[in-house]
Amino acid sequence: MTTSAEIASYPSERRNSLSLAELPSVEYGLIRAHVFASLVTLVFSVLFGILVATKFTFPEFLGGHGWLTWGRLRYNHTQGIFFGWLGNAFLAFFYYAVPRLANRPVSSRKLGWFLFWIWNFAVVLPGWVLVAAGFSQPLEWAEFPLVVDAFVVLAFILMVFEFVLPFVKARLSDLYVSAWYIIGGIIFTMLAYPVGNFVPELVPGARGAAFSGLWIHDAVGLFVTPFAVAIAYYVIPATTRRPIYSHFLSMVGFWLLFFTYPLNGTHHYVYSAIPMAAQKGAIVASVYLGMAVILVVTNHLLSLRGNSGTASKDLPLRFVWFGVVSYLVVSLQGSVQALMPVNRFIHFTDWVIGHSHLAMIGFASFIALGGIAHLWQRIPGTRCNERMMNWSFWLLAVGLTLMITDLTIAGLVEAQVWQSSAPWIDSVRAVASYWLVRTLSGLPILTGFLLFWASLVTGPRLAEAITFSTSRVAPENNVAFEDVPAASHELAPTAWLANAHVIAFGAGVGFFALSFLVLAILPGKQLEDEIKRVAPVTMPTLTTSEQRGRVVYGREGCAYCHTQQIRSLAEDVRRFGAPTEAWETKYDYPQLWGTRRIGPDLSREFNIRPRDWQLTHLYNPRLVVRDSVMPPYPWLFKGNVNQPTQEGLDLLAYLQSLGRARQLSGFDQQMMASSVHAAISEMAMTSEPSARATPPTVPIAMPGGYSDSAPVLHPASNPDDLQEEVSRGGTLFAANCASCHGSAGRGDGEASASLLPKPANLTAARFSDERLSSVLWNGVAGSAMPPWRQLPTEDLRALVAYIHSLHLPSVAPSIQQAANLNEGKSLFAANCASCHGDTGAGNGPAAGALAPSPTNFHLKKPTEERAWEVLENGVPGTAMPPWQSQLSADQRHALVEFVRSLYGTPQENSGQ
Amino acid sequence: MINLIVIVISAIMFALLLVWWRWPAFRAWIEAPKYSMLRQERRFDDRNAAGTASGSIQFMAHRDY
């Protein structure tokens, strides 16, 4: 039996007996400072986001400066939201809530100001400047460079002293749920942050990705979520003056969230090389997380029962209510999109971007705004413009709804195109209008945030801070807690339950350890063993130049649009090549797998595109891919495309090394012949319909590989059908070919200035159907002409018809005299046959070593003018030399006539 | 992995429900913080109101602990 004297000695009871003057102080100065910093950084971060979004529609916009390029702005957008906006908002809330929850002031005002300066002037501001200057870490939610990460860790250690220590000293047994989340979140993030930021620099590739995946989710799940949920659990009862529905449920939710959230991380890498057990574990945890959130949100909404009027009248509560509802929606969405059938469809698309904006704005930002508005109105002497705040709410709500709806649909459209055989650029074209809407939706959001800021510094100065007695809530709510005996919570069933702060501390440490053991360390060990077992011993490393190029690739944010992770899905394999194996990433420090595709995957870039195409693409992507939204990188060139800087050359070298190890090692052939393949397949994809079961050497799996199976595409013979094909082919040509070949097919497109060999002048030769089919199907090795076999056969046939229509009908075989032909024949045999073959079929003894291959004059029939021009000048960029200095004009003339005699009959040459 | 997660979550839930069902004192203890939080909130508000009335915003000198 507990005596009244014992009860009186309990910390909670002592707390209740304190006079008002003895209550702990609240650091209002620090609250104001963090609120101000949060809103300043919020506006900048949203501006960065709007610039990023604008560049999808206008890729050249502010594209001339490295520090304003898409990738760096994207890094600063998310890191600004994470550290600048939400970090400061949470810190402001801690200074307000911790003294109330712990009944002790925060540990030290000086420490608080030190933390403020560290957070804003050693983390946020230098982080932004360094990223803009090109010093960053290409890992999601970890983009600030390592030197800044060190200060982040220091800040979290300081937070432990500032905010957790008061709870430890208070020794309260009745720790309110917000305090549990604050303690658990700080401890967990203090441990998880260095592991998620530093370890991928030390653990390469797929193993590092296991750690990165955890941090991606922990950043949202155990930094953003606990503190936002803590605010919701605080603001709701403080505003309604009624206890939350069930503290028991809130505790169940706390434990489930802390158990399941850390286990979610690997769901960012479903169908990857990470062991399938870890992937499926993450998926199951994601589903459980959805259930946990249902429980948490149910508790929140039941706490508001009977107070719907309050939620509409009280603006801070309305912000929190919107955030809570968004939390439910985004969590259920997250659970669903982790499921494999959904994930294979929507992963890498804008759907996920919509999901993350719903999480960071709809859930976290709305609740943070509600928390700030709530505490602001309770600080004596502050101003508040409720009308402006009301406008802020509606602008934010409307802008966000538009953005999420738009991005979700855009994601579905992208997914649909990616499932098809349409060229990648079609997915970019298909969502261009959605990207414009997304940009526009950012404007009301930015305005809403600005109005919120203005609402805190304008309007009438509050005559008195809002209190229980001045709140708008019905007075009858007061009785709900007044009658509960103050000491009931001290009657802890067992002594150890009285140390709630220790348990919360343990939750942070324990779940951190569990998640990293289960989802990072153990899978990492499995991957390490697999790599040792299957990695080719001759696997080449990156050269110094390629390594420097890799740094440029990371610095410019390339990994945020281009994955280097071909998933074990038939649609990925068909489009990009064999699935990425863990051993291919064994030298990737840090991993660059990426979690988003705006451009295509680059894992198999080796031997796909030539140097001049790559450089032209980097200088101005739209020169070679007309509707590309990739930003230009002029700072990697000295004024023109033909003069790349050393960094440009390094990046080129790196791009051309991607997939080299796989192609040179003969791994795929070995795999097909060994039992290792079965072992890996079993480990990674035991019960899934696996693309790994598809032989990775199937020709179509390699985008640049030559395929003998190229179909011969004959245009329609019916004139009406032919006309229709030519018309459609013209449209396709304008969309896909004109940037290089020119709108009239004369090989004078914008990109032609920097391509070597030049794009073919399609009006200067007649091509056979076989030749055009082969080029469209396989590309032209040694030139910038890529394979287009991903286009539907009907489209390829239409292109063949259109290219035929470009040809001027003047190509006729030679009708010269026999003497001339004989001279030409001997000249041809002496000078040309070694490459072009005795019969001009392009199959001379030297032909096999040449790329592009020598012309086969039976399949490609240049006009007389073109043939003459080639003999005079050669074909730069190919093995064809100029013959002007070696052969006289008469000899060249005889040679032209002989070559034209190889073309075939006049009927054949007129296309009949 | 899946089994581990399912077993641990089931165990947590089962343990909590068992304690809730079999241990009435636990119910009172675990629900108590939601009342004490509100009491504390009211006391701070009252202090603010008193401070505003007296024209003082900083109510109490900060002590470093």
Tokens of A373: 């508005």
Q: Per the structure, how many domains does chain B have? A: 1
- Could B33 and A288 be called an inter-chain contact, meaning their C-beta atoms sit closer than 8 Å? no
Q: Is residue A691 part of a domain?
A: yes
- Could A238 and B41 be called an inter-chain contact, meaning their C-beta atoms sit closer than 8 Å? yes
Which chain B positions have a beta carbon within 8 Å of A278's beta carbon? 1
- Could B34 and A491 be called an inter-chain contact, meaning their C-beta atoms sit closer than 8 Å? no
- Could B51 and A380 be called an inter-chain contact, meaning their C-beta atoms sit closer than 8 Å? yes
Q: Which of A28, A175, A484 sits opposite B57 (nearest CB)?
A: A28
Do residues A841 and A767 share a domain? no
Do residues A590 and A212 make contact, with C-beta atoms less than 8 angstroms apart?
A: yes
Q: Is residue B14 part of a domain?
A: no
Shortest Cα distance from A200 to chain B (angstroms)?
23
Identify the DSSP state of A475: G
Which chain A positions have a beta carbon within 8 Å of B33's beta carbon? 174-177, 247, 489
Cβ-based burial of A476 (10 A; exposed 0-12, middle 13-18, buried ≥19)? exposed
Helix residue ranges per DSSP H, A458-592: 479-482, 500-516, 522-534, 544-555, 570-576
Which chain A positions have a beta carbon within 8 Å of B58's beta carbon? 25, 28
Cβ-based burial of A492 (10 A; exposed 0-12, middle 13-18, buried ≥19)? buried
Q: Looking only at Cα atoms, what is the longest distance across chain A?
A: 128
- The closest alpha carbon to A580, from A345, A279, A271, A214, belongs to A271
Distance CA A338, CA A356 (A): 14
Q: What's the pLDDT at A666?
A: 74
Q: What's the pLDDT at A478?
A: 52
Q: What's the pLDDT at A261?
A: 85
Distance CA A324, CA A317 (A): 10
Q: What angle do CA A311, A313, A319 make, to 5 degrees?
A: 50
Q: What's the pLDDT at B55?
A: 42
Q: Is residue B3 part of a domain?
A: no
Do residues A869 and A760 share a domain? no
Estimate the crossing angle of helix A247-260 against helix A276-303, to 10 degrees.
Answer: 160
Q: Is residue A567 part of a domain?
A: yes
State the pLDDT confidence band at B50, using cuts at 50, 70 and 90: confident
Which chain B positions have a beta carbon within 8 Å of A466's beta carbon? 45
A496 Cβ neighbours under 8 A, 6+ residues apart:
none
Do residues A166 and A40 share a domain? yes
Do residues A61 and A149 share a domain? yes
Q: What's the pLDDT at A2?
A: 45
Q: Which of A250, A466, A493 sits opposite B29 (nearest CB)?
A: A493
Tokens of A113: 């100001």
Q: Which of A12, A248, A468 sits opposite B20 (nearest CB)?
A: A248
Q: What's the pLDDT at A81?
A: 97
Domain ranges, residue B35: 24-52
Shortest Cα distance from B43 to chain A (angstroms)?
7
Identify the DSSP state of A760: P
Q: What's the pLDDT at A823?
A: 87
A571 Cβ neighbours under 8 A, 6+ residues apart:
A344, A418, A419
Q: Which of B6, B52, B65 sits opposite A284 (nearest CB)?
A: B6
Which residue does chain B place closest to A241, by CA atoms?
A: B38
Taking chain B, what is the end-to-end CA distance rounded to the nearest angstrom? Answer: 45
Which chain B positions have a beta carbon within 8 Å of A506's beta carbon? none
A676-685: long-range contacts (C-beta < 8 A, 24 or more apart)? A676/A533, A676/A534, A679/A533, A680/A530, A680/A534, A680/A581, A683/A275, A683/A276, A683/A526, A683/A530, A684/A273, A684/A274, A684/A275, A684/A276, A684/A568, A685/A271, A685/A276, A685/A568
Q: What's the pLDDT at A532?
A: 85
Which residue does chain A place closest to B22, by CA atoms?
A: A493
Distance CA A192, CA A188 (A): 6
Q: Which of B1, B16, B33 sits opposite A174 (nearest CB)?
A: B33
Do residues A335 and A287 make contact, with C-beta atoms less than 8 angstroms apart?
A: yes
Look-up of token digits 């104001």: A32
Look-up of token digits 């490609």: A860
Distance CA A558, CA A633 (A): 11
Distance CA A676, CA A93 (A): 55
Tokens of A725: 């094909």
* B2 has a pLDDT exceeding 60: yes
Best B37, B39, B65 member to test A by mutation, with max A CBs in 10 Å, is: B37
Q: Is residue B18 part of a domain?
A: no
Do residues A788 and A826 share a domain? no
Q: Is residue B30 part of a domain?
A: yes
Shortest Cα distance from B1 to chain A (angstroms)?
5
Q: How many beta-carbon contacts under 8 Å exist across A and B?
A: 180
Distance CA A104, CA A166 (A): 6
Q: What's the pLDDT at A68?
A: 94
Tokens of A394: 């509606």
- Could B63 and A468 be called an inter-chain contact, meaning their C-beta atoms sit closer than 8 Å? no
Which residues partner with A862 through β-bridges? A765
Sign of the alpha-carbon torsion through A245, A250, A251, A256: positive
CATH classification of the domain holding A588: 1.10.760.10
Do residues A293 and A327 make contact, with C-beta atoms less than 8 angstroms apart?
A: yes
- Could B37 and A107 be called an inter-chain contact, meaning their C-beta atoms sit closer than 8 Å? no
Distance CA A607, CA A659 (A): 9
- The closest alpha carbon to A275, from A451, A530, A23, belongs to A530
Distance CA A894, CA A830 (A): 13
State the pLDDT confidence band at B62, using cuts at 50, 70 and 90: very low
Q: Does A491 touch chain B (CB under 8 A)?
A: yes
* B59 has a pLDDT exceeding 70: no
Q: Is residue B42 part of a domain?
A: yes
Do residues A64 and A639 make contact, with C-beta atoms less than 8 angstroms apart?
A: no
- Could B33 and A247 be called an inter-chain contact, meaning their C-beta atoms sit closer than 8 Å? yes
With H, G, I as helix, E, B as strand and everything else as coil, classify residue A48. helix
Q: Does A177 touch chain B (CB under 8 A)?
A: yes
Q: Does A26 touch chain B (CB under 8 A)?
A: yes
Q: Which of A15, A248, A280 sits opposite B31 (nearest CB)?
A: A248
Q: What's the pLDDT at A534?
A: 82
B/e letters for A766-802, b = 16+ CB within 10 Å, e = fewer, are bbbbbbbbbbbbbbbeebbbbbbbbbeeebbbbbbbb
Which residue does chain A place closest to B24, by CA atoms?
A: A493
- Could B29 and A251 be called an inter-chain contact, meaning their C-beta atoms sit closer than 8 Å? no
Q: Looking only at Cα atoms, what is the longest distance across chain B?
A: 62
Distance CA A660, CA A607 (A): 8
Q: Which of A27, A247, A256 sits opposite B9 (nearest CB)?
A: A256
Q: Which of B38, B50, B64 sits opposite A481 (nearest CB)?
A: B38
Do residues A675 and A571 share a domain? yes
Residues 13-52 on B with a CB inside 8 Å of A are 13, 16, 20, 23, 25-52
Shortest Cα distance from A302 to chain B (angstroms)?
14
With H, G, I as helix, E, B as strand and everything else as coil, classify residue A742. coil
Shortest Cα distance from B64 to chain A (angstroms)?
5
DSSP string, A218-267: HIIIIIIHHHHHHHHHHHHHHHHTS--S-HHHHHHHHHHHHHHGGGGGGG
Which chain B positions have a beta carbon within 8 Å of A18's beta carbon? 43
Which chain A positions have a beta carbon within 8 Å of B60's beta carbon? 21, 23-25
Distance CA A424, CA A736 (A): 11
Question: Of A783, A806, A829, which one is at a domain's C-terminal end?
Answer: A806
- The closest alpha carbon to A215, from A240, A189, A234, belongs to A189
Which chain A positions have a beta carbon within 8 Å of B34's beta carbon? 176-177, 237, 243-244, 247, 250, 481
Distance CA A575, CA A810 (A): 40
A42 Cβ neighbours under 8 A, 6+ residues apart:
A80, A81, A84, A85, A365, A449, A453
Return averaged pLDDT per consecutive 10 residues of chain A, 912 residues in all: 49 62 86 97 97 96 90 96 98 96 94 98 97 94 95 97 92 87 91 88 87 84 94 95 92 87 86 88 91 95 85 91 97 95 95 97 98 90 90 97 98 95 91 97 97 91 56 51 51 59 69 77 85 83 94 95 93 89 89 92 88 92 92 94 94 94 77 55 44 36 51 86 90 88 88 85 87 87 82 88 79 59 87 88 84 85 86 86 86 87 61 40
Distance CA A387, CA A385 (A): 6
Best A303, A468, A494, A518 member to test B by mutation, with max B CBs in 10 Å, is: A468
Q: Is residue A225 part of a domain?
A: no
- The closest alpha carbon to A266, from A337, A215, A214, belongs to A214
Do residues A739 and A749 make contact, with C-beta atoms less than 8 angstroms apart?
A: yes
Q: Is residue B5 part of a domain?
A: no
- Could A278 and B49 be called an inter-chain contact, meaning their C-beta atoms sit closer than 8 Å? no
Q: Is residue A179 part of a domain?
A: no
Q: Which of B5, B39, B49 sits opposite A16 (nearest CB)?
A: B39
Instruction: Indicate the length of chain A as a whole number.
Output: 912
Q: Per the structure, how many domains does chain A have? A: 4
Q: What's the pLDDT at A501?
A: 61
Domain ranges, residue A766: 719-806
Q: What's the pLDDT at A702?
A: 38
DSSP string, A306-364: T-HHHHHH-HHHHHHHHHHHHHHHHHHHHHHHHSHHHHHHHTTSHHHHHHHHIIIIIII
B/e letters for A619-636, b = 16+ CB within 10 Å, e = fewer, are bbbbbbbbebbbbbbbbb
Q: What angle do CA A54, A58, A64 make, to 5 degrees?
A: 100
Which chain A positions have a beta carbon within 8 Å of B40's beta carbon? 15, 100-101, 103
Distance CA A177, CA A185 (A): 12
Question: Of A153, A170, A187, which one is at a domain's C-terminal end?
Answer: A170
Sign of the alpha-carbon torsion through A840, A842, A848, A851: positive
Cβ-based burial of A410 (10 A; exposed 0-12, middle 13-18, buried ≥19)? buried
